[in-house]
Amino acid sequence: MSVEALQQAKSEAVAARARFLDTLGETQQRLRPGNLANEAWTGVKTKAADAAGGAVSAARKRPGMLALVVGGLALFFARKPIGRAAKKVVSRRRRKRNEDGA
Domain hosting residue 94, numbered range: 63-102
For residue 88, being part of any structural domain is answered with yes
> 17, 10 in Cβ contact below 8 A?
no
- Average pLDDT (77-90) is 94
Total domains in the chain come to: 1
- Average pLDDT (45-68) is 93
For residue 23, being part of any structural domain is answered with no
Tell me, what's the pLDDT at 81?
93
For residue 82, being part of any structural domain is answered with yes
Q: What is the 3-state secondary structure (H, E, C) of 25-75?
A: HHHHHHCCHHHHHHHHHHHHHHHHHHHHHHHHHHHHHCHHHHHHHHHHHHH
For residue 86, being part of any structural domain is answered with yes
Give the whole-angstrom CA distance, residue 4 versus residue 12. 12
Tell me, what's the pLDDT at 102?
59
For residue 12, being part of any structural domain is answered with no
Whether the predicted pLDDT of 72 surpasses 80: yes
Give the whole-angstrom CA distance, residue 91 versus residue 16. 87
**Residues 4-38: tens digit of each pLDDT:** 999 999 999 999 999 999 999 999 998 999 999 99
What's the chain's average pLDDT? Answer: 92
- Average pLDDT (81-88) is 93
For residue 11, being part of any structural domain is answered with no
For residue 100, being part of any structural domain is answered with yes
